Structure 1
């Protein structure tokens, strides 16, 4: 991921998290690179990478392990000796989650807990011990899993819910500011090394003028800007007029587009 630009502030936050051995909690607008940081760190440090994408129905236990009772029941239907031997050992039906896999690694790994605020409000509290002590217990097998090497844990949040204070105390916090113009130029050049300066300046002027409109429900993010530039470059469309070509790349709703036109 050579095209990921790590700011000095974010680099410092990562360093603090590694020194303190605490999870790094990232907040910021969508498209500011919160999720990509984890894979960037794994790639640059050459570490195993485990991603746990949180949904509204996610349970904290799922990131640790899962007992596949359905597979065990299905296997028990077969009378063959090999199948019955397998069924008798519950360990054959324990599947480790992202954290569980990272704990089992002989060396350090990177774990991404993505969009933790999508889950139930109690979800972060249910992970307090595991993230603090880096260990958990599997009742089905009576196993005590302890991290061989404490992983680098990156947690992202889009501020959909407030996170519990007890959870926040155990994290290093960093808010990723939306890139300023000069930083955005670096990001664009990393993705499009041969882009013409004049064209880039026109695209940025138009993009940041859109973001200044306070009444937009969803302001275009970095990812939308990069998609828009790619479409412009491939199509050969110019930016000579005030009209935005391929506006659907930047605006995600008809209402926002109408706000811009007015």
Structure 2
């Protein structure tokens, strides 16, 4: 069971090595990187390439680790008991399995994605240590232990918004997805826009990397944003010449696909003003 990338996802050699190492070690793969570098999509592509189902658990700031195991609806049970409902006799009717339970109970091996774990409370990763380590957990309401029938491939993503606990990191295989260089980005674009003209692609990516490297930029545009930008360039049938700086504006054509806050737009407006003043 080896991951070698796919036709719709450009995986670098070191990323493929990381995925396969985590599978061999039977440890969660912790993937970090800038937003928009394909961390979430990696889990989907690994599942597709290996022919496995995927279970996705998208983490929010309010998510608790317990929700991944199960939730017990005591309020509904109390209400049903007051109404004399027959189903109240079986506590299992009020237990909702979480994503880990689904992965553990699956009939075959699955890929379990725990997406953006750094959004949750700092204790969230620690609260999952034992369950991810032992691949089992205890249901107090029923007195049963849920064990993984087939050990899932666990892929955990993080945008590096907060540090993760050392105890959690020790149990993971770690990989940082570096931002693609020009050659890798061209391969990524070719997957999404096959046959794109080389001159337009080179001009667009040259402009894109210039923007990313501009000092003082608050939010650097990501891979997903450059793909959106290229889609617009193709829809508007712009030429490489249209993308060159004309001296009157430092803002690229259709810059709303790349620059996502007013501070960065003002930064490029100031750069254009200073360039004109120096003439």
Q: How far apart are 1:237 and its partner, in Å?
A: 2.8
Distance 2:205 2:79 in 1: 58
Residue 13 (1) aligns with residue 14 (2): no
Stretch deviating more after TM superposition (58-67 or 229-238): 229-238
Maintained 8 Å contact 1:117/1:160: yes
Counterparts in 2 of 1:176 and 1:88: CA distance versus 1, 3 Å: same
Distance 2:22 2:148 in 1: 17
SS in structure 2 at match of 1:9: helix
- How do 1:1-262 and structure 2 match up within 5 A? 2-76=7-81, 78-79=83-84, 84-240=85-241, 241-242=244-245, 243-261=251-269, 262=271
Q: How far apart are 1:76 and its partner, in Å?
A: 4.2
Counterparts in 2 of 1:57 and 1:106: CA distance versus 1, 3 Å: same
Provide the aligned C-alpha RMSD in A: 1.5
Q: How far apart are 1:71 and its partner, in Å?
A: 3.7
TM-score by length of 2: 0.88
- Deviation per CA, 1:85-136, whole angstroms, max 9, x where unpaired? 3221111121111111000012111111111111111111111100100100
Q: Which runs of 5+ in 2 are unaligned?
A: 1-5, 246-250, 272-279
Higher relative contact order (CA 8 A, sep 6+): 1
Q: Which runs of 5+ in 1 are unaligned?
A: none
Distance 1:138 1:26 in 2: 30
SS in structure 2 at match of 1:124: helix
How many residue pairs match? The answer is 258
Distance 1:218 1:161 in 2: 17
TM-score by length of 1: 0.94
Maintained 8 Å contact 1:47/1:108: yes
SS in structure 1 at match of 2:138: strand
- Deviation per CA, 1:50-96, whole angstroms, max 9, x where unpaired? 111111111111111111334434544655xxxx3322111112111
Distance 1:13 1:118 in 2: 23
Maintained 8 Å contact 2:199/2:240: no
Distance 1:2 1:63 in 2: 32
Maintained 8 Å contact 2:30/2:155: yes
Counterparts in 2 of 1:23 and 1:237: CA distance versus 1, 3 Å: same
- Deviation per CA, 1:211-238, whole angstroms, max 9, x where unpaired? 1113101100000000000111112233
Q: How far apart are 1:244 and its partner, in Å?
A: 1.3
Distance 2:268 2:24 in 1: 46
Maintained 8 Å contact 1:210/1:260: no
Maintained 8 Å contact 1:22/1:153: yes
